[in-house]
Every structure is written in structure tokens, then in C-alpha cells.
Chains A and B, each alone.
Chain A
Amino acid sequence: MWYLCVFFHRLLEYRKSEFESLAGLFEGRGGATALEWRLPEDHHPDSPFHFVNLPSDELAVSIASRSILVKGIYELWGEGGSFEELEESIKSYPDDRKLPYISPGSTFKITVESFGKAISSEEQKDRMHKLEFISFKGRVNLKNPDHRFCLMANNDYGSNNGLPSAVQMRMFFGRELGGADRKILQTYELKSRKYLGPTAMDAEIAFLMANHAQVKPGKLVYDPFVGTGSILVAASHFGAMTMGADIDIRVVRDGRGPECNVWSNFKQYGLPMPISLLRADNNLPPWRSGLKEIFDAIICDPPYGVRAGGRKSGGRKLLKGVIGPYTVPDDKRTDHIPSTAPYSLVECVHDLLDLGAKMLVMGGRLVYFYPILRDEGSGEPTFPEHPCFEMIATCEQILSYRYSRVLVTMVKVAPYTEDIESAARAQHLEFRENHNKWMEDGNLHSAVFSPVDDVNVNGSGEKFSSKPKYRGKYV
């Protein structure tokens, strides 16, 4: 059955993939879920209004209530380009679908909303009264009604705020089944988080990552770059058991004191503590060789060298090559702090894919952020691939004039074997050679922070045509 899905007008590229990930979660299906979507007449894909085909009301409610970006999902009773058309449409909607919700003894509430144009409360009341032809027999209850209805209008707002104008206004009237509970964003907002680090994940994005990873109670989620635990907090809120590792022991073990560390972040919200936190190097992981297919999801934000650089084990020996092995005298061993070497993004992501290929269960998801430069010029950005994984979604979030980060969602479709390991290595080397000249070591950092003149501009100066003007960090 077709439902009207109204999204919040933000993080546009995340909306449908979040919706589809949640559909897969509640239907119990692994792999990718492709739903049927349709746009209302004359609407632009960036519009908040979309029709989606779902098998049941239950699924619609489950998806909407767990989501972060679905403002509301409605059983559509009518639509039209004018009030007259809308009235006709509602009148022709089958009575047996309407009667149960307007019966005497039930309570209801109607909300009037307008996208793209503010309307006064006078105008709202006016529109509400025009709906009197629907003979509501129940009583109005504004606080806690049995049934909620919404009269929505998508307006012709001109091209002032950058959105292409709808050719004409369109109105929708529907019975609300559910919508996102965005109160959790306020509960978990970073502003009031006890222990923060410079790259702590924004609460809204952390929940989106957990939804893309299909987190649910009883699952085990791992973050190999846990930092202050902001991603695990979101996973824990949705009921998962969590585990995290970081190469920097000060962040993981000490924090900023006994009341201000990763553990206190979980205590703050009454969430179960992570099962384990450890200091480990993702490049040389401490797992036993027989261990595999243990994590249900791996969700992380790897260091890309822009605001936080990655490190791996090795230190001077790897840096200079010629110097003989640096041997630690026995009496200094206990307190020795091993030096670390720079860890390029490409190698980091390769190790992450390798980790996922071995340690994710079949059908488990790998969800991580990958940075891209916005002036790559020629066509679509490319992402690292791995024979064990199928790409599900890429959601871009523009961070600045020059770079974005993309939330990559992949699902494990093939078990890890030795053959796969060599194929993966080959793919990694090919990717590194051909696609990542900008990403190696310092280059991403300088590309982002150097003055505009230094950046390589191709002759025409026309660089960022791919995304519409209103796209910014939160849209």
C-alpha cells in the first residue's frame, strides 16, 4: 500500500537510505532493501514529500518511530492542486477506510502545516474548517488523541531560498501513523555530554549511523576508533551490546578523570556500559586467528588526517627504513610507550574493510565515514571496494566549500577466504594508485586548509556544480 512519507528537510541524502535500512531491520531481511518510491506530481526529489510502498501499517509505524528523519508517515486520504481537488479526492476515498477513525467515541486532532511558506493561525483555522465535509463524529483532544490527521501544503515558494519551485501548490490530507521521536536528540546532544573529544560524533548523525547499521537489542556493535564513545552511545540507546578500541590509551582508559571518561558518558544516560574497551591498533589487531564473524555491525568514523590524524604501530623503524630494529632495553619495557607511525587514510580504510570481512557476521553491516574533496571534477566519487562487501548507500554531508564526508554503508555478502584476501589486496593497491592522489598522507589536510589560490583549479573555475546551492552541512 502507498503511504505518504514526509521527511524533515535536512540531511537529504540520508533520508531514503535510513528508511530502507530500517525497513530491512523490521522485516528481518539482511542485504539491501529497495523500496518503491514515487514523487508527487511536479515535485523535485529534494522535496520532503514522497510516496512509498509498504506491505503494512505496522511496518510503516515501526520505521517512522525509530527513524530520525521521518517527520510523519500518513495514510493518504486525498491530495490535490487546489482545495476543491483535495475535497473531491477525499470524498472519493473509500468510506470503509475512513469510518473507523471518525466514529463517535473516538478522539482526534487535526494539524495544519505548510512547507515553504508560513501561514498565520487564522489561515490555519480557516483551512481546518474547510474540512468539515468529512463528518468527524468523535471529540477533539489536543493532548492525547486516538487519531491524528494532518492537512499539509507544499507551496510555490519561488526560487528565493534556492529550492526549485513546485510548479503549483499541492495539498495532502492524511491520517498520521507515526513519526520520528526527535526528543532523543535533545537528550543526547553533545552540549551536555560529560566527556567530549574534538571529533565526537554529533548525536543526530550517530543515531543515523546506528540506523543504517540496523542496530537492535542483542546485537554486538564494534567501533575500532572509539574515542569518547559517541557512536557506541547511540548504538547502546538502541539496545545493542557495544565494544570499542582506540590506539590512544589516554582517551579510552583515562579520559579527563574518574568522573569524566568514556564510562561516565554511558552512566550519564543510564545506558549499559560497553562490554569492553581496549587499546589496540587496527593495523595490527590483537584478535586470535580462529576468531571470525562475531560482530553484527561495525560503525565508526576513521581518522582522515584533517582534524585528527591516524596512527599505527611501528614508529621509527617504518618511518626511516634503514635504521635497525629499535630494541627496548628490558628494564624499560614495562612503562615503555611504543612510538607510532602515520597511518594513511587509504591504508586505514583497507584495514577496516579487512576487519569487517573477517569479523562481521554474514549480512552484517559496515558503516563508516569517508572524506571526499568536492572538486574532483570528473563525475561521481569512487569508494574503496572489497570482494566480501556490497555497497548499500553513500550519503554525502557537505562540510565546507572544499570537502564533504560520505557515510558509506556496506553489507557483508561473502565469507572470508584466503583467495579473497589476495583479491582484496589487489583491489586496494589499484584503488590507491588510481583514485587517491589527494588522499595520501598530508594532502587531504592541505587541500582542505590551504588558501583557495593554492588549490588546483581547472581552467573554467566552475567547480562545484554537482550539488544545488541550498546544500550545506545540515541539508
Chain B
Amino acid sequence: MRLLTHNMLSSNIKGVTNGFPLLIEAVKVVEKEVDFNEDFLKNMFVKVEWKALVEASRTLGYTELPESAEASMLDSDEFLRKFHHALLELHLEDGALVCPETGRKFPVSKGIPNMLLHEDEV
């Protein structure tokens, strides 16, 4: 599961007011190379919640992302590469995503998060 995905997900259990961002319990982290696409990164930059991305990347062991970011930084190739790496190349193979309010764990296995709610969470 990549951090781009993590940035889109929240715990939508009934009764939870803010299930974003999910905390990450990392058991196995892998780095996988992805082709660099500048247009895609620039489009995604606008959609991403930056703080959540920085937090998540630190949990996975990557500390290069700046605390805050603005659009002007997209002109720097160095920044784009770091952004690319954190967003697309860090991969949570096994672990869990934890709801910040209830502590409920959404398992991640073989890189696939299981976001299905149980019968009483619906």
C-alpha cells in the first residue's frame, strides 16, 4: 500500500467524526521503484494532505520530506524526487491502519488494505 493510497483513506465507521489520517502500524516496509512522471506528481500535489503524508512517511522510515510545502516548491527537481519517493515508492506490505478515534485496526496484507467494515460498524 502506497502513501498516496493512505492519504485518501479514512475510517468511516459509524459514529466516528474524523477518521483521517489513519495511524500506521508497520510490520513490513518495502521500497519499489516507480517511473517518474512530473505531470502526475504536480496533479497529485494539489490533492494531497501534506501533513498526513509527512507523518506517514516518517512512520515508514523516510525523513526527507519538509514539514510544509507549497506549489512553488514543485519547480525544484530535488523536491519532486523526494515527493515522488514518499508518495509512490514507499510500500507497506504488511501491517495495519488504525482508526484514530476507535483504535480499530484495518489490516494490510500483501500490500492490500482491507477497508471493509464489520456488520456493527455500518
Residue from the list A220, A252, A317 in contact with B122, Cβ < 8 A: A317
B98 CB to closest chain A CB, in angstroms? 13
Stretch from B3-11, B59-67, B69-77, B78-86 forming part of the interface with A: B3-11
Does A191 make an interface contact (CB < 8 A)?
no
Q: Which A residues lie at the B interface, using CB under 8 A?
A: 217-220, 241, 243, 247, 249, 252-254, 272-273, 275-281, 284-291, 293-294, 313-318, 325-328, 333-334, 336, 338-339
Report yes or no: B115 in contact with A280, Cβ–Cβ below 8 A. yes
For residue B54, CB closer than 8 A to chain A, the reply is: no
CA distance A285 to B93 in the complex (A): 22
Contact A285:B12 (CB < 8 A) given known A241-B40, A275-B88, A278-B1: yes
CA distance A273 to B74 in the complex (A): 25
* Chain A nearest Cβ from B16, distance in angstroms: 11
Closest approach, in angstroms, between the C-beta of B95 and any C-beta of chain A? 13
Q: Which residues of A contact B35 (CB under 8 A)?
A: 272
The CA-CA distance from A61 to B8 in the complex, in Å, is: 39
Identify which of residues 94-122 in chain B touch chain A, using a CB-to-CB cut-off of 8 Å: 105, 107, 109-120, 122
Contact A325–B118 (Cβ < 8 Å): no
Q: Are B12 and A316 in contact (CB under 8 A)?
A: no
Is B49 at the interface (CB under 8 A from chain A)? yes
Contact B8 A294 (CB under 8 A): yes
Is the CB–CB distance between B117 and A313 below 8 Å? yes
CA of A293 to CA of B47, assembled, Å: 8
Q: Which of B19, B40, B112 contacts A278 (CB 8 A)?
A: B112
Min C-beta distance of A288 to chain B, whole Å: 4
Name B4-59 residues within 8 Å CB distance of A. 4-5, 8-12, 19-21, 32, 34-35, 37, 39-40, 43-44, 47, 49
Complex contact B43–A249 (CB within 8 A): no
Contacts of B110 in A (CB 8 A): 253-254
Contact of A284 among B1, B9, B12 (CB under 8 A): B12
The 7 closest A-B pairs by CB, nearest first: A288-B10, A286-B115, A276-B5, A218-B39, A288-B20, A253-B112, A326-B119
Contact-residue size bin, chain B (C-beta under 8 Å from the other chain): 35 or more
Contact, CB under 8 Å: B20 / A338? no
| CA distance in complex: A206, B71 (Å) | 36
Minimum CB–CB distance from B4 to chain A (whole Å) comes to: 6
Complex interface: chain B residues within 8 A of A291 (CB): 8, 47
Q: Complex: how many Å from CA A294 to CA B8?
A: 10
B119 A339 Cβ-Cβ under 8 A: yes
Partner-A contacts on B (CB < 8 A): 1-2, 4-5, 8-12, 19-21, 32, 34-35, 37, 39-40, 43-44, 47, 49, 88, 105, 107, 109-120, 122
A241–B107 Cα gap in the complex (Å)?
24
* CB contact between A338 and one of B2, B5, B88, B117 (< 8 Å): that residue: B117
Q: Which residues of B contact A336 (CB under 8 A)?
A: 118
- B47 shortest CB reach to chain A, Å: 5
Contact of B9 among A220, A241, A286, A327 (CB under 8 A): A286
CB nearest to B106 among chain A residues: A286
A272 and B52 alpha carbons, distance in the complex (Å)? 26
A279 pairs with B115, CB closer than 8 A = yes
Is B43 a contact partner of A218 (Cβ separation < 8 A)?
Answer: yes
In angstroms, Cα B88 to Cα A285, docked, is: 22
The CA-CA distance from A293 to B122 in the complex, in Å, is: 25
Looking at the complex, which one of A279, A288, A326 makes contact with B112 (CB distance below 8 Å)?
A279
B4 touches A313 (CB 8 A): no
User: What residue in chain B is nearest A255 (Cβ atoms)?
Assistant: B110
B119 & A316 in contact (Cβ 8 Å cutoff): yes
Residues of B within 8 A of A275 (CB): 2, 4-5, 34, 88
Residues of A within 8 A of B12 (CB): 284-287
A338 in contact with B116 (CB, 8 Å): yes
Give the chain B neighbours of A290 by CB distance below 8 A: 20, 49
Shortest A298–chain B CB gap in Å is 14
Query: Distance (Å) between the CB of B6 and the closest chain A CB?
Result: 9
A315 to B70 CA separation, bound complex (whole angstroms): 45
> Contacts A220-B40, A252-B112, A339-B119 given: A278-B5 contact, CB under 8 Å?
yes
